[in-house]
Structure 1
Amino acid sequence: MKHQMIRGMALVAVLGASTPLWAQYEGPGSETIKTVEEAKKASDDAEVVLTGHIIRQINHEDYLFRDATGEINVEIDGDEWGAIREPVTPEMTVRISGEVDYHQTEPTDIDARQVEIIETAYRPAMTGLEKG
């Protein structure tokens, strides 16, 4: 009896480890918000994946984000910067994944879960040979 219980627990552990950690519904009604304009109209906790630029820091964890459709405040906690080890500038294109944070008395903003650098603006290296 004891051996059967141990085998059962081992089976549950193996099956649990093989299950995707972020499994979620995908289908009608589960569309991810992709623009600032859509995010401003979305309901609280709607999933967002925005691509654009962080154009300035407002305070410790709040930033102003801009894409082609508008601007919105984004809260980025320290651990949401992930593996980024370089300063993020307004010229860099970033992808922010998170959710809409709707407020009745304040403008809607985004609570970021992850920030990724998509593209860094090209800047020629200074070699000392430039004429100018």
Structure 2
Amino acid sequence: MKKLITLSTLLVVSSFAVAQGGFEDPNDARTYKANEQERAEMKREKLRKHGKQDGKYGDKKGIGFFDENNAVKSVKDLPAAKDKSFVLLEGNITKRVGKKDFIFKDATGEVEIEVSRRAWQGQTITPTDRIQIRGVLDKEWDKTEVEVMEIIKK
């Protein structure tokens, strides 16, 4: 009797697995190809989530869509801009004030910027180098800073 109950339970459980698509036949090109693409996309998403692309850090170029017409283009306009506004500034990094924090100066004033490792793109920047920064305005209670996503040497 125990054998019969065990066998019937096993059949019921295995039929649910097959009905839900729990088995992938590598010889069936239709399902295997679709699942292979899905697995590849999941792997890419996991790498993106952890700051990687193709298994390497810091090899992403650009920041996606960036509308230069709607970006804040001078330091003096930053206080009037909304939080999370796109920023496009040209000037110089004058000094370092923290691990990722720097002072950026353009013709209209100075602002603190936060530069991620990815934004440097392998470039070495000195205070005499003219650069363009692309980023997002971050307004907090006590300070306003720009989170830099890309640095372009001019």
With normalisation by structure 1, the TM-score equals 0.64
CA distance in 1, matches of 2:122, 2:100: 17
Residue 128 (structure 2) pairs with residue 102 (structure 1): no
More helix by share: 2
> By how many angstroms is 1:83 displaced?
3.7
> By how many angstroms is 1:116 displaced?
1.3
Match of 1:43 in 2: 82
- Say what the alpha-carbon RMSD is for the aligned residues: 2.8
> By how many angstroms is 1:57 displaced?
0.3
Identity, % of aligned positions: 25
Task: Return 5+ residue gaps in structure 1 as ranges.
Answer: 7-20, 119-132
> By how many angstroms is 1:90 displaced?
1.1
Match of 1:92 among 125, 129, 133: 129
CA distance in 2, matches of 1:113, 1:102: 16
Match of 1:114 in 2: 150
Task: Return 5+ residue gaps in structure 2 as ranges.
Answer: 1-29, 34-62
Letter in 1 for 2:136: E
Residue 133 (structure 2) pairs with residue 76 (structure 1): no
> By how many angstroms is 1:22 displaced?
3.5
Measured against aligned partners, the alpha-carbon deviations of 1:7-48 in whole angstroms (never above 9, x if no partner) come to: xxxxxxxxxxxxxx9357x6xxx6111101112321110000
CA distance in 2, matches of 1:93, 1:113: 17
With normalisation by structure 2, the TM-score equals 0.56
> By how many angstroms is 1:53 displaced?
0.4
Report the number of matched residues.
Answer: 100
> By how many angstroms is 1:73 displaced?
0.1
